[in-house]
Amino acid sequence: MPLPDINRICVVLVSTRNPLNIGAAARAMSNFGIRNLRLVKPFDPGFREARSAVGAAATLQDARIFASVAEAVADCTLVIGTTGGRDRHLDNSLRRLQDAAPLVKKETAHGNVAILFGSEKRGLSNDDLTRCHWLLHIPAQEDHLSMNLGQAAAVCLYEISRHIGVTHSQTSQPDQPTPAITEEIDRLAAVWFETLFASGYVKPGAGAITEEKLRRMVRRMNLSTPDTEVWMGMLRQVLWKLNH
Amino acid sequence: MPLPDINRICVVLVSTRNPLNIGAAARAMSNFGIRNLRLVKPFDPGFREARSAVGAAATLQDARIFASVAEAVADCTLVIGTTGGRDRHLDNSLRRLQDAAPLVKKETAHGNVAILFGSEKRGLSNDDLTRCHWLLHIPAQEDHLSMNLGQAAAVCLYEISRHIGVTHSQTSQPDQPTPAITEEIDRLAAVWFETLFASGYVKPGAGAITEEKLRRMVRRMNLSTPDTEVWMGMLRQVLWKLNH
């Protein structure tokens, strides 16, 4: 059975404004042995020189830049959003960090895991949240939930690396099929949307809401790659027929 | 029996150079419900205005200044030093953070606990170490042990407050929707099958195998009842369109 692999974790910083926070996150990553840093639309192109990245220059140099969250997490099978708040994300379930860490560990045995941190001011957008399988929060004081980005990253990576670092004897499980990566899910949702449009289910004008809703529904299906391929084949045929 | 009391914990920052780090430590304290900040010989007297103390102005204002570690910890029954290194403190026993936290919790039932953080460059001095009952370290990568002060404080206080478990807001989860019952799943699979037949995906003769396979696939989706209804509505429209 495959073992958990910390190299399958990537930290995704979305629209971070302050390059010192990017450097601080990189430093925490180095402290806890996580190398894969991805940046979505960083505000300041000078982030690679952030002085706060003490001992983490390599992590910062190797950071990859993406134009969207969708592209940044395309090869991931589990996408987790971090949030300080509690009540606004009704569509995503919310887990405490200590409950989330074992799930991250488990997933790294077979797929890539993305941990998203939103911008300092606004956190993750609603559109970013539709890319997330679920959310995690660091339990903090009700009257002071807002954490500094670098500190939140350090706490998350500490807890996750602590879980992965513990070597439990593995219990054998039947071979699970490979979970679908985000890119596959998004492609499936897109073909579904096209099909619904061709069928008249989606009315012109109501497109954006339906597409987002659809993406969430498809994500909730917890599809494997083989199943995704079968669904795609079916839908393409249905779509072809609708258009002819 | 007296209960653990998080108000018995104090954070002692020794000879901190950068006031931003003092502010960051204060912010992490506020996040995790710890109010008692003590400073031994802070380098910069302007620390009370540190911008990094977001939401922690009161903690910073109430911070007490001492001329020595001895005075700062005079009313404490347990004094713990934090360290990044491993091998230089032969006289003090060294515990991992996760092993230290339960001992901190236990002690706060009857006495004050001081957690010391040394200066950014040199850590705690040998003289400071003689004041400590024992040391704690955050398990980190061998080749990158040095953590940022604000991040180290955040990680320590997260772990300790998690063990003490007081006043943490409850994790809220959105109400889990009812899982679909078999009947609903089968009905959905049947409509799917009809749709695939109408589209030409299912060839006459291959029907039985496909229908069984389809039912398995739909079952693997782990649908809720509300989601099942939405899928049904979509499929019925697609089917209607295919037949007209």
CB contact under 8 A, B174 and A94: yes
- Closest among A95, A210, A73 to A159, alpha carbons compared: A95
Chain B residues lying within 8 Å of A233, measured CB to CB: 201
Give the burial string for A185-206 (b: 16+ CB within 10 Å, else e): bbbbbebbbbbbbbbebbeeee
Nearest CA among B31, B22, B5 for reference residue B157: B31
Over residues A151-173, the mean pLDDT reads 75
The reported pLDDT for the residue numbered A76 is: 94
Contacts of A70 (CB under 8 A, 6+ apart): A131, A182, A186
B150 and A148: CB-CB below 8 Å? Answer: yes
Nearest chain A CA: its distance from B69 CA (Å) = 26
Cα separation of A117 and A39, whole Å? 10
Nearest CA of chain A to the CA of B159: how many Å?
Answer: 9
What's residue B209's pLDDT? Answer: 67
Q: A146 and B54: CB-CB below 8 Å?
A: yes
List the single best residue of A238, A239, A243, A244 to mutate versus B (max B Cβ within 10 A).
Answer: A238
Number of neighbouring beta carbons within 10 Å of residue B244: 6
The full length of chain A comes to 244
Q: How far is B70 from chain A (nearest CA, A)?
A: 29
Q: State percent of chain A over pLDDT 90.
A: 49
Please report the pLDDT score of residue B97 as a whole number.
95
B88 pLDDT exceeds 60? no
Indicate the average pLDDT of chain B. 86
Shortest distance, CA B108 to any CA of chain A (angstroms): 19
Per-residue pLDDT at B64:
96
Smallest Cα–Cα separation from A96: which of B80, B168, B204, B7?
Answer: B168
Q: Are A13 and A26 in contact (CB under 8 A)?
A: no
Q: How far is B177 from chain A (nearest CA, A)?
A: 11
d(CA A176, CA A51): 44
Q: Please provide the DSSP assignment of A96-163 as one string.
A: EHHHHHHHHHHHTTTSEEEEEE-BTTTBS-HHHHHT-SEEEE----GGG-PPPHHHHHHHHHHHHHHH
Strand order across the A94-96 sheet = A64-66, A36-40, A9-14, A112-117, A76-82, A134-137, A94-96
Interchain contact, A223 vs B221, CB within 8 Å:
yes
pLDDT at B200: 85
Q: How far is B142 from chain A (nearest CA, A)?
A: 9
Mark yes or no for CB contact B30/A90 under 8 Å.
Answer: no
Distance from CA of B30 to the nearest CA of A (A): 6
In this prediction, residues B5-16 reach a mean pLDDT of 95
Taking each helix axis from N to C end, the angle separating A19-31 and B149-164, rounded to the nearest 10 degrees, works out to 60
**One-letter amino acid for residue B242 of the chain:** L
Q: How confident is the model at residue B173 (pLDDT cuts 50, 70, 90)?
A: very low
| Per-residue CA distances from A194 to A80, A227, B120, B163 (Å) | 27, 19, 57, 51
How many residues comprise chain B?
Answer: 244
Chains A & B: contacts with CB separation below 8 Å? 180
CB contact (8 A) between residue B237 and residue A199: yes
* Model confidence at A177: pLDDT above 80: no
Contacts of B30 in chain A (CB under 8 A): 141, 144
> What is the C-alpha to C-alpha distance for residues B136 and B114, in angstroms, rounded to an integer?
12
Sign of the CA dihedral running A30, A31, A33, A38 = negative
- Tokens standing for residue B44: 């910069």
Q: Establish how many alpha carbons lie within 13 A of residue B134's alpha carbon, considering only the half-sphere containing its beta carbon.
A: 12
CB–CB of A54 and B222 under 8 A? no
From B167, which residue of chain A is nearest by alpha-carbon distance? Answer: A141
- Residue-by-residue DSSP string for chain B: -PPP-GGGEEEEEES---HHHHHHHHHHHHHTT--EEEEES-S-GGGGG-TT-TT-HHHHHH-EEESSHHHHTTTEEEEEEE-S-SSS-TTS-EEEHHHHHHHHHHHTTTSEEEEEE-BTTTBS-HHHHTT-SEEEE----TT-----HHHHHHHHHHHHHHHH--SPPPPP-PPPPPBPPHHHHHHHHHHHHHHHHHHTSSPTT-HHHHHHHHHHHHHHT--BHHHHHHHHHHHHHHHHHHT-
Return the pLDDT at B84. Answer: 84
ipTM of this model? 0.75
Contact across the interface for A52 and B148, Cβ inside 8 Å: yes
Question: Inter-chain contact A238–B238, Cβ cutoff 8 Å?
Answer: yes
* pLDDT tens-digit readout, A46-60: 888 888 888 899 999
Interval A8-34: pLDDT, tens: 999 999 999 999 999 999 999 999 999
Residue B2 pLDDT more than 90? Answer: no
Contacts of A93 in chain B (CB under 8 A): 173-174, 176
In chain A, what residues touch B52 (CB-CB under 8 Å)?
A: 148
Contact residues for A238 (Cβ-Cβ < 8 A; gap 6+): A195, B195, B196, B199, B201, B238, B242
Token representation of residue A82 = 């971090």
pLDDT over 80 at A175, yes or no: no
Read off the tokens for A53. 């990245």
Chain B residues with CB inside 8 Å of A162's CB?
Answer: 98, 139
A235 CB contacts (<8 Å, ≥6 apart)? A188, A191, A192, A195
Contact list in B for residue A202 (CB cut-off 8 A) is none
Residue of B nearest to A201 (CA): B237
Q: In degrees rounded to 5, what are phi and psi of residue B232?
A: -60, -45
Say if residue A173's pLDDT is above 60: no
Residue % of chain A over a pLDDT of 70? 91
* Closest residue of chain B to A221, computed from CA coordinates: B221
